[in-house]
Amino acid sequence: MTSAAPRSRVAVLTALRHSGELTQVEIGAATGLTAGTVSTVVSGLIDDRLVRVRDVVRTGRRARAVTLIGPGGPLVGVHCYLDEARVLLDPGDGRAVVEAVEVLPDGHRADVAVDAARSLAAGLLAEQDLDPADVLQVAVGVPAPVEVRTGRVGGAGVRDGWGPVVAQPELFAPAPVVFDNEGNLSALAEARQGAGRGRSTVVQVSISQGVSGGIVHDGELVHGRTGTAGELGHLTIDPLGPVCSCGNRGCLQVYAGSAAVTSLLAASHGPMTLAEVLDRAAQGDPGCRRVLSDVGRHLGTAMASVCTVLDPDVLVVGGALSRAGDLLLDPLREVLAERTAVTSGAVVDVVAGELGASAPAWGALLLARDTALAGMLAG
């Protein structure tokens, strides 16, 4: 363990958690530490096998880049969702992260997703010749709000009991398990290593079967008082609108989720999957294009309030509907331009997510790493 002051060590690790790799000069700028202190801390982290260094060239000058490896053991990130289970494994020994996915049948019970995730995790560990007992931390993305202070799932009925079934620590024993909302985890992943990387305040919204979201400021999730900050799918855009699964009326999810998209086209196009809607829109189908454009405007109505309050650096749009690209994003941008208070700055930057369907699992893996490192530092 390095002899450097614990606060300096925490500061360096925090900067690396948020960025993944920084030069020692960049670490100094991010933490306010002197070059000598940064060098001492980095040397200690190398000794503890928490970071590795390599020579790079930045702005024409040679520099020493520091990369966070992790807490020195296997980590697992899990996403249990309505259509798939996805697991990422970081072996913790310098080998690359590996991924496994299982597509699940329509209408399956939550325990089916949990069983699939457990089987996928066991398979990855066996493939990498790792003992499950050596896993330092598992993190699981849950399709329901999570009270982060207690670990309990809130928002009963938001996903028909999915949260209470998935968020049971013993299901992934013997490793310690931590849970968070899938929208939060997508936001964390996009902010740290996706479309929001390098930005201070990131708002992320995902549109698939439902609508989820998250807020990240200076590399850390904003959970709010109970853990439901960033629950963007349940912003009211029409107080007289249809009743949502959460019990409120006119939520964004009612107008922008995949069920809303396909139901609007049922009379003119017959039964369609979301993938078929996106494909036909790309081929120029006017009805499909109109519905996706309307979703973009509904999204803009909801996000205008969010952006007015938070003034984020970037709004990242992920999920299956983000595949529509500018057909969805341009109407969103237009509504934001109409409805947000613009001073000397431009309207918030709106971009598509970069991590695709893997975003929640990547966020879960980052959460597992953060939790394991916090435990080491506390110990």
How many H-runs (helices) and E-runs (strands) does the chain carry?
12, 15
Q: What is the pLDDT of residue 157?
A: 46
Q: Is the pLDDT of residue 377 over 80?
A: no
Identify any residues that bridge with 261 across adjacent strands, giving them in sequence order. none
Q: What is the pLDDT of residue 301?
A: 94
Q: What is the pLDDT of residue 105?
A: 86
The percent of residues in the chain predicted with pLDDT above 90, rounded, is: 64
**6-68 topology per CATH:** Arc Repressor Mutant, subunit A (1.10.10)
Q: Which residue has the tokens 């990242």?
A: 316
Q: What is the pLDDT of residue 1?
A: 42
**CATH code of the region 195-354:** 3.30.420.40
Please write the tens of the pLDDT for every residue from 68-113: 887 889 999 999 888 899 999 999 988 899 999 999 887 777 788 8
Torsion, Cα 150 186 182 125, to 10 degrees, reads: -90
CB contact at 8 A, 71 and 65: no
Q: What is the pLDDT of residue 163?
A: 61
Secondary element (H or E) of residue 205: strand 201-207
Identify which has the larger pLDDT, 349 or 378.
349
Q: Is the pLDDT of residue 61 over 80?
A: yes
pLDDT band, very low/low/confident/very high, at 173 (cuts 50, 70, 90) = confident
Q: Is the pLDDT of residue 195 over 90?
A: yes
Q: Which residue has the tokens 């399956």?
A: 108
Q: Is 88 helix (H, G, I), strand (E, B) or coil?
A: strand
Please write the tens of the pLDDT for every residue from 28-41: 999 999 999 999 99
- Indicate where the chain has its CATH 3.30.420.40 domain(s): 75-185+359-378, 195-354
Quick one: which of 2, 16, 5 has its CA closest to 65? 16
C-alpha to C-alpha distance for 298 and 238, rounded to whole angstroms: 10
User: What is the chain's mean pLDDT, rounded?
Assistant: 89
Q: Which residue has the tokens 């390095």?
A: 2
Contacts made by residues 22-30, CB under 8 angstroms, sequence distance 24+? 22/65, 22/66, 23/56, 23/58, 23/63, 23/64, 23/65, 23/66, 24/63, 24/64, 24/66, 25/63, 27/66
- Indicate where the chain has its CATH 1.10.10.10 domain(s): 6-68
Q: Is 73 helix (H, G, I), strand (E, B) or coil?
A: coil
Q: Is the pLDDT of residue 196 over 80?
A: yes
Q: What is the pLDDT of residue 288?
A: 96
Q: What is the pLDDT of residue 93?
A: 85
Identify which has the larger pLDDT, 344 or 102.
102
Please write the tens of the pLDDT for every residue from 201-238: 999 999 988 899 999 999 999 998 888 888 898 899 99
pLDDT band, very low/low/confident/very high, at 262 (cuts 50, 70, 90) = very high
Q: Is the pLDDT of residue 372 over 50?
A: yes
Q: Is 75-185+359-378 a domain of CATH 3.30.420.40?
A: yes
Q: What is the pLDDT of residue 322?
A: 93
Please write the tens of the pLDDT for every residue from 139-171: 999 887 787 777 677 654 455 556 666 667 777
